[in-house]
Amino acid sequence: MSLDDLVVSTEKIDTVYVTKLQGNLNNFTAEKCIKSVTNSLKHGSVILDLEELNMVTTQGIVAFKTLNEEAFLQKYKIILINLPLSVRQAFLMAGVRNLFPIANNEEAAFKMASRPSR
């Protein structure tokens, strides 16, 4: 997989969208990620599975911040699961904390997603 590859797959389960990101989130792929997740946010909360996300650059962090703003506007949640160490480190280096709730597993994420927002 090259640096400009990001595979975004989304599955709807009840009223929640589970989106898996595979590859790299950078200046080449950020817009694709934002469009896909924003599309799902129009209809419900999103669980973002990051298990196969290899790398997040500064532009990827900006994409996450944009998604946070979009979730607030749509009044739905984005919950992260399966964060690789490299993604956690990217968040820490960018000074990003508590941008999204992080669930320990998919079951916990579904419980968080089903709770009313704000």
pLDDT tens-place string over residues 48-101: 999 999 999 999 999 999 999 999 999 999 999 999 999 999 989 988 888 899
pTM of the model: 0.91
Across the beta sheet with 16-25, the strand order is 6-13, 16-25, 46-56, 78-81
| Alpha helices (H) along the chain | 30-41, 58-74, 85-93, 106-114
- Cα–Cα distance, 30 to 33 (Å, whole number): 5
CATH class of the domain whose range is 6-107:
alpha beta
pLDDT at 1 over 70: no
